[in-house]
């Protein structure tokens, strides 16, 4: 009899790489139910509407669904009550789902140990010394750190989503977590393309011409989207399309010049258009895994990336991209200029590099890990 598999995730309230991983897990295990603290259908991928999703009691509060960070003091107790009845739970976690109790085995697929505990400045960004989030985190950190360390040790196995996260897990928890790189979604690469409404005049006379630079990111301070916008502000002859949502949106709109557009809530067909008509993707954040370069690479589009973090797993200088050394406008602008003057990168080679991170490989490795865990001593 096949094992009962369940999928756990922190919260389904946005469209990002971690949520793409959950979709891939659901594809590998279509009978699995999903357990998460919050689910806001309008803010995440539409495919989740067809899935069986269990949420916490906090999900009844609309404000929390729209921005789970507001509920920070309540999330540890709520996570500890998310009991899951399954033979194996695959917990896609960035700080909460690894704590969900289960009757069976637990494999934690870790996107990062909690940023708010171990990388607080990345989490808080430009929040001032008296910002409510900073003050709340200062008070809660001792309790949350003890809680988080206990939760990590309830796992039967940890898997890291990148080399950087593997090192961080070892430093924070003292655990050896083999790296299993997440796949890029076939939905981003395969299928028809649909031009983005409202960009006809800006993106070409008929709305289908490309040539724009592209940022695909949550609009949070540590993503450094503002630095990319400032870089392009000094290059009025080039265009920048930013796709994403988040608390930085209004600030970024306020500083965006005429050659920059911000959009959100795109369909897969529109995402394929945005990638397929781009000159290059620009990524300026300290990511734990560089997923968006693979999505761009599936279209033969190169990446201009910060030389740090997970981009070192997915971007090769001169093969599928170019690096810059600092998330500052001048450094980004210099890299754009160097990229435009360099020998053209081969689109076929870029696509072949992306195919190394296939969904089939990810699923096969995950199933092998489940088999290994189940063969170990019964809990």
Tell me: the pLDDT tens digits for 309-360? 889 999 999 899 999 999 999 999 999 999 887 767 899 999 999 988 889 8
Asked if residue 370 and residue 233 are part of one domain, the reply reads no
> Could you tell me where the beta strands, DSSP code E, fall in the chain?
5-9, 33-36, 53-55, 88-93, 105-110, 157-160, 212-216, 240-243, 260-263, 278-283, 303-306, 321-324
Asked if residue 119 and residue 43 are part of one domain, the reply reads yes
Asked if residue 153 and residue 19 are part of one domain, the reply reads yes
Asked if residue 115 and residue 240 are part of one domain, the reply reads no
Asked if residue 130 and residue 95 are part of one domain, the reply reads yes
Asked if residue 367 and residue 341 are part of one domain, the reply reads no
- The answer to whether residue 174 scores a pLDDT higher than 60 is yes
Strand order in the sheet with 321-324: 260-263, 240-243, 212-216, 278-283, 303-306, 321-324
Give tens-digit pLDDT for 55-80.
999 999 999 999 998 898 999 999 99
pTM of structure: 0.75
- The answer to whether residue 206 scores a pLDDT higher than 50 is no
- The answer to whether residue 187 scores a pLDDT higher than 90 is no
DSSP structure class, residue 361: H
Q: Please, what's the largest Cα pairwise distance for the chain?
A: 65
Phi, psi of 261, deg, nearest 5: -125, 140
The number of C-alpha atoms within 13 Å of 298 and in the hemisphere containing its C-beta is 23
Q: Structure tokens of 53?
A: 């999703």
Asked if residue 304 and residue 216 are part of one domain, the reply reads yes
Q: Structure tokens of 274?
A: 């945005």
Number of domains in the chain: 2
CATH code (residue 38): 3.40.50
- Cα(214)–Cα(8) distance, integer angstroms: 31
Question: Which of 101-105, 177-181, 197-201, 239-243 is predicted with the least confidence, judged by mean pLDDT?
Answer: 197-201
- The answer to whether residue 209 scores a pLDDT higher than 50 is no
Structural domain boundaries, residue 240: 186-355
Asked if residue 231 and residue 300 are part of one domain, the reply reads yes
Segment 181-187 shows an average pLDDT of 83
Asked if residue 197 and residue 148 are part of one domain, the reply reads no
**For the chain, what's the residue count?**
379
Query: Which pLDDT value is given to residue 285?
Result: 92
DSSP structure class, residue 179: B
Asked if residue 22 and residue 63 are part of one domain, the reply reads yes
Q: Is 336 exposed, middle or buried (0-12, 13-18, 19+ CB in 10 A)?
A: buried
Contacts of 23 (CB under 8 A, 6+ apart): 45, 47, 48, 185
Beta bridge partners of 110: 93, 160
The CA–CA distances, whole Å, from 204 to 88, 192, 196 equal 51, 19, 11
- The answer to whether residue 210 scores a pLDDT higher than 60 is no
CATH code (residue 244): 3.40.50.2000
Query: Which pLDDT value is given to residue 130?
Result: 62
Cβ–Cβ under 8 Å, residues 116 and 123: yes
Asked if residue 204 and residue 68 are part of one domain, the reply reads no
- Cα(149)–Cα(367) distance, integer angstroms: 27
Asked if residue 297 and residue 223 are part of one domain, the reply reads yes
């Amino acid at each position: 009899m096949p094992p009962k598999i369940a999928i756990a995730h922190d919260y389904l309230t946005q469209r990002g790489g971690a949520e793409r991983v959950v979709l891939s897990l659901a594809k590998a295990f279509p009978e699995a139910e999903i357990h998460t603290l919050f689910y806001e259908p309008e803010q995440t991928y539409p495919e989740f509407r067809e899935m069986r999703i269990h949420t916490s009691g906090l999900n009844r509060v609309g404000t929390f669904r729209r921005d789970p960070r507001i509920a920070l003091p309540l999330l540890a107790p709520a996570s500890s009550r998310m009991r899951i009845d399954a033979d194996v739970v695959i917990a896609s976690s960035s700080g909460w789902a690894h704590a969900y109790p289960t009757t069976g085995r637990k494999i934690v697929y870790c996107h990062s140990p909690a940023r708010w505990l171990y990388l607080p400045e990345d989490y808080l960004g430009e929040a001032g010394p008296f910002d409510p989030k900073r003050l709340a985190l200062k008070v809660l950190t001792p309790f949350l750190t003890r809680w988080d360390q206990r939760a990590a040790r309830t796992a039967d196995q940890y898997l890291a989503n990148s080399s950087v996260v593997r090192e961080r897990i070892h430093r924070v928890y003292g655990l050896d977590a083999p790296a299993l790189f997440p796949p890029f979604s076939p939905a981003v690469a395969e299928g028809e393309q649909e031009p983005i409404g409202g960009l006809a005049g800006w993106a070409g006379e008929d709305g289908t011409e490309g040539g724009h630079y592209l940022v695909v990111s949550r609009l949070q301070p540590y993503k450094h989207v503002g630095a990319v916008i400032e870089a392009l502000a000094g290059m009025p002859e080039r265009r920048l399309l930013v796709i994403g949502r988040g608390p930085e949106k209004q600030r970024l709109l306020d500083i965006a010049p005429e050659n920059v557009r911000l959009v959100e809530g795109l369909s897969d067909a529109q995402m394929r258009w945005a990638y397929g008509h781009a000159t290059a993707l620009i990524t300026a954040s300290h990511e734990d895994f560089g997923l968006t370069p693979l999505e761009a690479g599936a279209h033969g589009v190169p990446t201009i990336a910060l030389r740090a973090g997970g981009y070192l797993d997915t971007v090769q200088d001169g093969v599928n991209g170019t690096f810059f050394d600092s998330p500052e406008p001048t450094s980004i602008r210099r890299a754009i200029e160097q990229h435009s003057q360099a020998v053209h990168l081969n689109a076929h080679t870029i696509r072949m590099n992306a195919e190394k991170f296939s969904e089939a490989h990810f699923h096969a490795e995950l199933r092998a890990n489940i088999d290994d865990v189940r063969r170990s001593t019964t809990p």
